[in-house]
């Protein structure tokens, strides 16, 4: 079946895409006709399901298990996308882990685990994918930050540090890669209604905001999609908050 849509012929790599926000991003890009490599760490069945959903939405899906903190695995993931689809145009760095402990109880090992997935993983995936984007004449990179990292919250010093690190990485890459036609932006979600693992702990207290409900994963995906579309090609180096006004409040 020939892809149709604003991203027909484009190829996206989405990390952490087996569930929640990552899944919705993969489906949103697939719905615009993109071929999408659906990355997960270990849940192959969930990744395969999302890849099938991408295909049903109008794109082409490929499930691929890889640890984004491993340089060889990140390179192998980029190679798999190129082998299957011929190019890479879009990278969405969504993979991340949440841990929740008071600062005095956070071990260095836990600190490193959280930063490794969110920040090191984004660096390694960008290193693996950017040469293919340059060869293809441009593209879009989107990192997934967090509005709480701009505001501060308790018991998540490592998560907030990692997410703010992504803001710096985003701005640096936007500055360096613009000449190659590559945009780089960060989408910072607020309180989103997702299924969370036990290790993530309880949700942080709900910040008063103009739109009082929690956000939906597809609302984050809609912003990511826009930044990857031709209509978003003049946006780069930005952190865009999607949080119902939480940061404003």
Q: Could you report the per-residue pLDDT of 106-145, keeping only the tens digit for each? A: 999 999 999 999 999 999 999 999 999 999 999 999 999 9
Q: Could you report the per-residue pLDDT of 6-32, keeping only the tens digit for each? A: 999 999 999 999 999 999 999 999 999
Q: Alpha-carbon distance 224 to 133, whole Å?
A: 18
C-alpha count within 13 angstroms, C-beta hemisphere, residue 191: 19
What pLDDT is attached to residue 200? 46
Q: Is the pLDDT of residue 51 over 80?
A: yes
Superfamily of chain region 11-242: NAD(P)-binding Rossmann-like Domain (3.40.50.720)
Task: Please answer whether residues 19 and 63 qualify as being in contact, where contact means their C-beta atoms are separated by less than 8 angstroms.
Answer: no
Q: Could you report the per-residue pLDDT of 207-248, keeping only the tens digit for each? A: 777 787 888 999 999 999 999 999 999 999 999 999 999 888
Task: Please answer whether residues 98 and 196 qualify as being in contact, where contact means their C-beta atoms are separated by less than 8 angstroms.
Answer: yes
Q: Alpha-carbon distance 216 to 13, whole Å?
A: 22
Relative orientation angle of helices 20-31 and 217-228, to the nearest 10 degrees: 40
What's the whole-model pTM score? 0.93
User: What does DSSP say about strands 239-242 and 35-40: parallel, antiparallel, or unpaired?
Assistant: unpaired
Give me the residue spans of the domains in the chain: 11-242
Task: Please answer whether residues 202 and 100 qualify as being in contact, where contact means their C-beta atoms are separated by less than 8 angstroms.
Answer: yes
């Amino acid at each position: 079946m020939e892809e149709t849509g604003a991203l027909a012929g484009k190829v996206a790599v989405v990390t952490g895409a087996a569930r929640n926000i990552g899944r919705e991003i993969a489906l949103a890009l697939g719905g615009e006709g993109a071929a999408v490599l659906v990355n997960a760490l270990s849940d192959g069945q969930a990744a395969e399901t999302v890849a099938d959903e991408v295909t049903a939405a109008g794109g082409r899906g490929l499930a691929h298990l890889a640890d984004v903190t491993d340089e060889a695995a990140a390179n192998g993931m980029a190679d798999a996308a190129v082998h299957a689809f011929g190019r890479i145009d879009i990278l969405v760095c969504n993979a991340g882990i949440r841990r929740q402990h008071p600062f005095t109880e956070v071990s260095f090992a836990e600190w490193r685990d959280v930063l490794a997935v969110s920040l090191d993983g984004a660096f390694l995936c960008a290193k693996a994918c950017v040469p293919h984007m340059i060869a293809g004449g441009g593209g879009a990179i989107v990192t997934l930050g967090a509005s709480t990292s701009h505001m501060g919250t308790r018991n998540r010093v490592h998560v907030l540090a990692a997410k703010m690190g992504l803001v710096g990485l985003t701005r640096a890459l936007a500055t360096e890669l613009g000449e190659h036609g590559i945009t780089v932006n960060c989408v910072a979600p607020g309180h989103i209604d997702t299924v969370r693992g036990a290790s993530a702990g309880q949700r942080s207290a709900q910040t008063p905001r103009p739109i009082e409900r929690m956000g939906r994963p597809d609302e984050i995906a809609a912003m990511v999609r826009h930044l990857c579309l031709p209509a978003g090609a003049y946006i780069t180096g930005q952190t865009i908050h999607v949080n119902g006004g939480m940061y404003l409040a």
